[in-house]
Structure 1
Amino acid sequence: MWKFILRRFLVMIPQLFLLSLIVFALAKQMPGDALTGISMDPRISPERIEELREKAGLNDPWYEQYGRWISGIVHGDFGTSYTHKIPVSEVIAERIWNTVFLALITLILTYLLAIPMGVLSGRYNETWIDKVVTGYNYLGFATPIFIFALIMLFVFGFSFEWFPTGGSVSSKVDARTFAYYLSKFHHVILPAFSTALITTVGTVQYLRNEIIDNKFKEYTRTARSKGIPDNKVYTRHILRNSLLPIAAFLGYEITGLVGGTVIIETIFSYPGVGQLFVSSIGLRDFSVVTAIVMMLGFATLLGTLLSDIILSMVDPRIRIE
């Protein structure tokens, strides 16, 4: 197991190197540069902008710029945000925990919704329960998440006013109090629930198909022939084996949620990394944009590794050499 993990980490090094090349190349193809955002400020003269550009090395050849950038990343330095006037790591640190909290609550809600619906739909397939869940799945697959999020925001945020329409915490509460954490949960529940209602459909459909498939396996017929009650057959055999692939997809789910918060955070004005990413593109803050893309790429590779490890742990039939 440890040899496998070490080998996968070593394989991630060239993958991250290739990703950095692609990210840097795409950033260079974007109009403007890291100082384009502040060049719009009438208080800063063009001569001063050109002086800053020369000082930052933006006029150097691309390979020299890439060498400084990747060397800084290796040492944990993502550069300076010219828009925020502070290091990029500090800019991201102010937002990252909001995104992690949103992704965590969304993940919990996703599984709380998906597992019961998938189990009921698979166990009672071809019944009215299965038709209701299947109809929900079809509707979820056909609905773009940004459309559904806008509807949820309009109905429960603006019409009923049950939830806040922006921010991550109320400005009226003191930090580190019970009211503070309650306010953070109140702000996150609508974007998290809106995301979970759409992202859950894939897990529901997959679990339903797994349960239906396992109902007709030889080990299920053998268990029933021994007189084991039907409920135990489902809980100890069918459900246990059907949940194995779901557990293996946990790493991918986490990665997808962290990356998918870009749309949700923008719609709900939730101050996380996703909203920071969109605003940084508009402000031409390339240091922040490239750092976030590299961070999400690294999270994707870690999610893939996590899924492989979980699958090997929960399924004894799988051996990773």
Structure 2
Amino acid sequence: MWKFILRRFLVMIPQLFLLSLIVFMMAKAMPGDALSGQELNPKANPAELERIREELGLNDPWYQQYARWAGNAVQGDFGISYTHKTPVMDVIEDRLWNTVFLALVTLIFTYMLAIPLGILSGRYNDTWIDKSVTGYSYLGFGTPIFIFALIMLFIFGFALDWFPSGGSVDSKVEEGTFAYVVSKINHLILPALSTALIATTSTIQYLRNEIIDNKIKDFVRTARSKGVPESNVYSRHILRNSFLPIAAFLGYEITGLIGGSVIIETIFSYPGLGQLFLSSVSLRDFSVVTAIVMMTGFATLLGTLLSDIILSAVDPRIRIE
């Protein structure tokens, strides 16, 4: 197992290099630069803007800019945000934990809903329970997340006023207090639940199909022929094997929620990485854009590794060496 993990980390090095090159070139291909917007200001001095460009190295050849950026990025330095006038990592750090907390709460809600529904649908397939759960899954598959999130925001954020309609914490509470923690959780529930109700549909279908397939396998028939109680057949034989694909996708689920939070954070005005990414693109803040994409790409590679490790840990018969 340790040899496999080491090999995977070594393979990640050229993958990260290629990702960084693609991200940097795509950022440079965007029209204009961080100072382009200031040129529209009638009070702006073109000579002064050109001097700043030269000072920041924006006029250097792309390969020199990439080498300078990549060398600093390896050390954890992604430069200075042109918009916020502070180090990029300081800007990202303020938003990173908000996105991480949102992803974790969403994941908890997703599995709290998906696992019981998937088990019920698979165990009692072709019954009214299965048809109800399957109908919910099809409805979730066909509903765009941004439309569903807007409906949830209107109903529970504005009409019923059960949850805050934006932000990550109440500005009136003091940081570090119990009221601050309660406010944080209260701001997380609505966006996390809105995402989970849509994201849960794929997990339900995976689990349902695995249970139905495993119910007719030879090892299940053998267990029943030996007189094993039906509850033990489901818990030790059917469910254990049915959870393998769910466990394998755990790493992808975590990184996917972190990287795919742009829509939810924008709709709920939640100050996370997704909202920061959109605003940085519109403001041509290349330093922040490239840093966020690189961090998301690195998290995706780690999620892939985590999924393989979890899969081999859940089933001792599977050992990736």
Same fold (TM over 0.5): yes
Post-superposition Cα deviations, 1:13-38, rounded to whole Å, max 9, x if no partner, equal: 00000001111111111111132344
Contact kept? 1:252, 1:304, Cα under 8 Å: yes
Instruction: Give TM-score, length-normalised by structure 2.
Output: 0.98
CA distance in 1, matches of 2:132, 2:255: 29
Secondary structure, in 3 states, of the residue corresponding to 1:86? coil
Cα shift readout 1:219-238 (whole Å, capped 9, x = no counterpart): 11111111122111111111
Closer, same or farther: CA 40–76 of 1 in aligned 2, 3 Å: farther
Structure 1 moving runs of 4+ over 3 Å? 37-44
CA distance in 1, matches of 2:99, 2:170: 17
TM-score when scaled to structure 1?
0.98
Q: Secondary structure at the match of 1:245?
A: helix
Shift of 1:48: 1.7
Q: CA deviation at 1:152?
A: 0.6
| Cα distance between partner residues in 1 of 2:42 and 2:97 | 35
Aligned ranges 1:220-235 → 2 under 5 Å = 220-235=220-235
| Paired letter, 2:125 | N
Specify the alignment match of 1:271 in structure 2: 271
Deviation at 1:46, TM superposition (A): 2.1
User: What's the offset of the Cα at 1:295?
Assistant: 0.5
Partner secondary structure for residue 243 of structure 2? helix
Counterpart Cα distance in 1 of 2:7 and 2:18: 18
Aligned counterparts of 1:203 and 1:216: Cα–Cα separation in 2: 21
Matches within 5 A, 1:118-197: 118-197=118-197
Give percent identity, aligned residues only: 76
What pairs with 1:1-321 in structure 2 (closer than 5 Å)? 1-41=1-41, 44-321=44-321
CA–CA separation in structure 2 for the residues paired with 1:305 and 1:280: 30
Match for 2:26: what amino acid? L
Structure 2: distance between partners of 1:2 and 1:238: 30
Alpha-carbon displacement from aligned partner over 1:217-266 (angstroms, at most 9, x marks no partner): 11111111111221111111111111121111110000110011111001
Report SS of the residue matched to 1:82.
Answer: coil
Q: Which runs of 5+ in 1 are unaligned?
A: none
Shift of 1:307: 0.3
RMSD, matched Cα: 1.0
What displacement does 1:316 show? 1.3
CA contact 1:207–1:242 (8 Å) conserved in 2:
yes
* 1:39, distance to aligned residue in structure 2 (A): 4.3
User: Residue by residue, what CA displacement relative to the aligned partner does 1:161-213 show, whole Å, maximum 9, x if unpaired?
Assistant: 11111100001111111110000000010000000000011100000000000
Q: Once the 2 structures are TM-superposed, how far is the Cα of residue 45 of structure 1 from its aligned partner? A: 2.2
CA contact (8 A) 1:79 1:87 kept: yes
| Alpha-carbon distance in 1 for matches of 2:168, 2:40 | 30
8 A Cα contact 1:27 1:290, kept in partner? yes
| 1:34/1:287 contact within 8 Å kept | no
Secondary structure (helix, strand or coil) at the match of 2:173 reads coil
Secondary structure of the 1:23 match is helix
Structure 1 residue 42 displacement after superposition: 5.1
